[in-house]
Structure 1
Amino acid sequence: MSETEKIPQAKNPLKGLFNYQWILKNIPFFLFLSVLAVLYIANGHLADKTVRNINNTTKELKELQYEYKTLKSEVMFKSEEQQVIKATEPLGLKVIKETPVRLKSERVNE
């Protein structure tokens, strides 16, 4: 016998693990893992979309708040007495300096 025949060949431990029968036997598990991976990716995309929608809604809300405050300040300014007087001058309306007179009506008793 030669020396090469005496040395036992080292077996590859992974060779027996990946044979055809083993792969066929574990196909349902591989499909399960594939479905989990797809769901994980879809969940990530859904979360990103939700965050984008929240950010857009927040920006829109801030813009509407700024618009509300601007309009409110304009209304407050235009409702001041001097501004009302200026706005009604072209219509011929003027402020009366006299105090108002109270009218009294007499009821007829029947």
Structure 2
Amino acid sequence: MSKNTIKDNELSEEVQEKMNESVEKKVEETQNFLRSIFSTNRLSSYLVAKNLPFAAFVALLGLVYISNRHLAERTVRSIDRLGRDVKELSWDYKSLSAELMKLTTQTEIAKRADTLGLRERTEPPIKLEVVKEK
């Protein structure tokens, strides 16, 4: 395998001059643009009117972004609140279910029936048979 080396190809004077000219031209265009924006005589109604649709579009995008952010935050808060409500209702369901299970045990039913004067049977039920006459 060969070793990595840096090629030192020097550019010709013509190419260097062309590159320098293009760079200088770009710098000059940038300076002219900045001068036209910040100069008081150029900052006229024409420049404002020319860029007004773009500025309105950017402002509209900003408003849409802000409203979308508020909507997302409101939705997240709503989801969080509903999650807490679901947890609370789940706890209520579990406690009521446990209480109902306790109230429907045989001993609890016997205690409640005793207050009404009813008692649990101690002897098995009697089977009645009907004899058919022929």
Whether the TM-score (by the shorter chain) exceeds 0.5 is yes
Query: Of 31, 48, 61, which residue of structure 1 is paired with 2:56?
Result: 31
Task: Percent identity, please.
Answer: 34
The higher-RCO structure (CA 8 Å, 6+ apart) is 1
C-alpha distance after superposition, 1:38-69 (max 9, x if no partner): 01000111011001100110010000000000
Q: For this pair of structures, how many residues does the alignment match?
A: 99
| 1:60 and 2:85 aligned | yes
Give structure 1 stretches of 5+ with no counterpart: 1-10
| 1:72 and 2:75 aligned | no
Task: Specify the alignment match of 1:101 in structure 2.
Answer: 126
| 1:89 and 2:89 aligned | no
Give structure 2 stretches of 5+ with no counterpart: 1-30
Higher helix content, 1 or 2: 2
Task: Specify the alignment match of 2:22 in structure 1.
Answer: none
Q: Compute the TM-score of the two structures, normalised by the length of structure 1.
A: 0.79
Residue 98 of structure 1 deviates from its aligned partner by 1.3
| 1:17 and 2:37 aligned | yes
Task: Specify the alignment match of 2:73 in structure 1.
Answer: 48
Q: What RMSD in Å do the two structures reach over aligned CA positions?
A: 2.1
